[in-house]
Amino acid sequence: MIIQLDMQSDVPIYNQLMNQIIEGIASGSLKPGDPLPSVRSMASDIGINLHTVNKAYTLLKQEGFIQIHRQKGVVIQPDTMPGITPEYQDKRNAYLKPIIAEAICRGLSEEQLLQIVRDMHNEITQTGEENV
């Protein structure tokens, strides 16, 4: 999996890193039990501060996407991925509601919005199939 960060983006780097790892899991390019680089190695590989990687890994661990072992290092959650929690629902709504509202203001219909979501879902899941 190749991590691509936009250093000019308003989105914090640790957030971009988290999003890329979650997308890799969703696409299947990162599988349960797959190792991730150590904090130092990841920071060095992509040229960012190790505290930024540590923050991303800590948040991914808290949300249940990865495990951090002293001997095994960092691995994609080998058991089950996190389910839908009230916290996730609140987070999802907080992110999506303003995007949907803006899309409506810009004239997108419900069907156009749904098609965009379908296309993105297919893009992510088909990317994973190509990597298998």
pLDDT at 130: 58
* Mean pLDDT calculated for residue range 35-41: 95
Q: Is the pLDDT of residue 131 over 80?
A: no
Q: Do 30 and 65 form a contact (C-beta atoms < 8 A)?
A: no
Question: Alpha-carbon distance 111 to 48, whole Å?
Answer: 40
> Which domains, and CATH codes, for the chain?
13-76 (1.10.10.10), 86-131 (no CATH)
Q: Is the pLDDT of residue 128 over 80?
A: no
CB count in 10 Å sphere of residue 53: 25
pTM: 0.85
- What's the chain's average pLDDT? 92
